[in-house]
Amino acid sequence: MDGPSPPKQAKITDSEPSPSETPTTSKPEEPIPPISGGDKDSIEQDDTLEILEQIDNCQGEIENLNESASEEIIRIEERYNRLRKPFTDKRNEFIQKIPNFWICTFVNHPQIAPRLNEEDEECLHYLRRLNIDHYEDLKTGYRITFHFAENPFLENKTICKEFSFSGDGEPTSKCDIIRWKPGMDLTKKVPRKKKSKLEVKCFSFFTWFSDHLDPGNDEIADVIRDDLWSNPLQYYLIPDFDDSMEKSLFTDSYLDSDEDNDVSDEATSPRVSQTTGDNLNDSSKRKVGVTPTSNKETS
């Protein structure tokens, strides 16, 4: 009798894996080719041009606003010129009551004083009024007018220098003809230099009236219009240098003597008080105008 047959053993064979079991293999990425130097420069240049274009657009807007602001500033300035005029006229009326006011402001001004010689100062003793008049349209110009009292130098009662700006912005200037009395033309004389007995050739302040070479950069006109005319009182009320020095020397001397003095307060206080009062009364005076070189009486 045959016994039970042994179980069949599964035949181990190499079988292909199922599709689901098939491992996925990724394709290797192709390397990005490097940007050549020329291409990189081209990209950077394009970016820079785009940025520059944006900057230019912003700048254009800024310029438009600046132009609008300039127009508004001019309108405001014109308005305030009209508001200031009654006060400048009233100021001129008061100034005319002070002898030698304008010559004092001229010789005290650091930019005008070096341009004056002795004869200029003598002539300017007779300057009674100074006016700055802007045109109704501020952009078109202004005039500076000197008003003189009767004097031995000039036939003119007034001398006016006028500055105009044309449509293209090109400035021009013109001036009244100065009519000098015989032998008194300061622009042709050889004036004496201040504080000197020698006859030396130097330019007269009055040559400025006939100087029209560069009206757009007229330093004297700018100083007169923007500084001297704006507040002439500050140049009239300049402290006297000599008085200031005297006061300073007295103060230093007093302090030194106070430190070294061993005398009792009771003995010294009346003397110090009296001396201090006497000196301060003299030295604290302000100089209301420099006394120019001429001693002539003016009306």
Query: Helix 241-260 to helix 265-283 angle, to the nearest 10 degrees?
Result: 170
Closest C-alpha among 172, 187, 179, 62 to residue 120 = 187
Q: Cα(120)–Cα(140) distance, rounded to whole angstroms?
A: 31
Q: Cα(135)–Cα(63) distance, rounded to whole angstroms?
A: 26
DSSP β-bridge partners for residue 269 = none
Q: Cα(68)–Cα(229) distance, rounded to whole angstroms?
A: 28
Q: What are the pLDDT digits (tens) for 182-240? A: 999 999 876 554 555 444 445 899 999 999 999 889 999 999 999 999 999 999 998 65
Q: 159-163, 220-224, 249-253: which range is least confident on average?
A: 249-253
Decide: residue 105, CB within 10 A, 0-12 exposed, 13-18 middle, 19+ buried: buried
Q: pTM for the whole thing?
A: 0.60
According to DSSP, residue 227 is labeled I
Closest C-alpha among 159, 168, 165 to residue 187 = 159
pLDDT band at 18, cuts 50/70/90? low
